[in-house]
Chains A and B, each alone.
Chain A
Amino acid sequence: NAGVTQTPKFQVLKTGQSMTLQCAQDMNHEYMSWYRQDPGMGLRLIHYSVGAGITDQGEVPNGYNVSRSTTEDFPLRLLSAAPSQTSVYFCASSYGGVGIQYFGAGTRLSVL
């Protein structure tokens, strides 16, 4: 049972580069979300989705884009990477808005 799968696990970018962080879940969950966690800090919500075709902004959406074309996938796009986006990114999914969230293992991103 895979659960929530994030790829890649590690990534190094140069300032200005773009990339997509992948997130896939096999639990048929409607609700998916992206968080970032800076060293020693709590998780901050970037974007979330309540179903295919529906996304909304979280606390820190600037510099990131998302789309939800299928129930299973919720990719996070960095448009033009900046050093301030160096962080660990977690994807989560749940059945419905009040359901238990299941988290992926994270993607560790460094922007030089």
Chain B
Amino acid sequence: LAKTTQPISMDSYEGQEVNITCSHNNIATNDYITWYQQFPSQGPRFIIQGYKTKVTNEVASLFIPADRKSSTLSLPRVSLSDTAVYYCLVGDMGASGTYKYIFGTGTRLKVLA
């Protein structure tokens, strides 16, 4: 069963870089790693996705080591508006042979002034 493990919560100050690590020891060979952000009373929103090495977009970077058993989401210079829950997802094979996506507990990031 593909499963992710993340820290439950993190605190940071405005302007700092935040790194959130996710463990996914049983990731499948052809699976991607996807991170989502969720604000209260909203649905999750896509942040970044990667398969290996490093991926960067306008809001975050994703670092994936060669063994792909973990990944690290990096948020540069966080602001108060980055306070949210961050989820790491990998796929899991369902009974019909199709992929399903199971959310873990997520990491609750609180950015302090």
Describe B's contact surface by its main secondary structure.
loop
Q: How many residues of A contact B (CB 8 A)?
A: 25
Task: Collect the chain A residues with CB atoms within 8 Å of residue B30's CB.
Answer: 98
B87 at the interface (CB under 8 A from A): yes
Q: Is the CB of B101 within 8 A of A33?
A: yes
B13 at the interface (CB under 8 A from A): no
**Known contacts A45-B103, A56-B94, A97-B98: A90-B43 contact under CB 8 Å:** yes
Count of A-B contacts judged by CB separation below 8 Å: 67
Q: Is the CB of B95 within 8 A of A57?
A: yes
Q: How far is the CA of A104 from the CA of B91 in the complex (A)?
A: 20
Q: Which size bracket describes the interface of B in this complex? A: 20 to 34
Q: Is the CB of B96 within 8 A of A35?
A: no
**Chain A window 16-35, contacts with chain B (Cβ cutoff 8 Å), 1 for yes, 0 for no:** 00000000000000000101
Task: Collect the chain B residues with CB atoms within 8 Å of residue A100's CB.
Answer: 34, 46, 49
Q: Is the CB of B43 within 8 A of A50?
A: no
B102 at the interface (CB under 8 A from A): yes
**Known contacts A35-B103, A56-B96: A42-B45 contact under CB 8 Å:** no
**Known contacts A33-B101, A44-B103, A98-B32: A103-B96 contact under CB 8 Å:** no
B100 at the interface (CB under 8 A from A): yes
Whole-angstrom distance between the Cβ of B111 and the nearest chain A Cβ: 19
Q: Is the CB of A98 within 8 A of B99?
A: yes
A112 at the interface (CB under 8 A from B): no
Residue of B whose beta carbon sits closest to that of A43: B103
Which B30-85 residues have C-beta < 8 A from chain A?
Answer: 30-32, 34, 36, 41-46, 49, 85
Q: Can you list 26 A-B pairs with a CB-CB distance of less than 8 A?
A: A33-B100, A33-B101, A41-B105, A42-B87, A42-B103, A43-B87, A43-B103, A44-B103, A45-B100, A45-B102, A48-B94, A50-B98, A54-B96, A56-B94, A56-B96, A56-B100, A58-B102, A97-B91, A98-B99, A100-B46, A100-B49, A101-B44, A101-B46, A103-B45, A104-B43, A106-B42
- Which A residues have a C-beta under 8 Å from some C-beta of B? 33, 35, 41-45, 48, 50, 54, 56-59, 90, 92, 97-98, 100-106
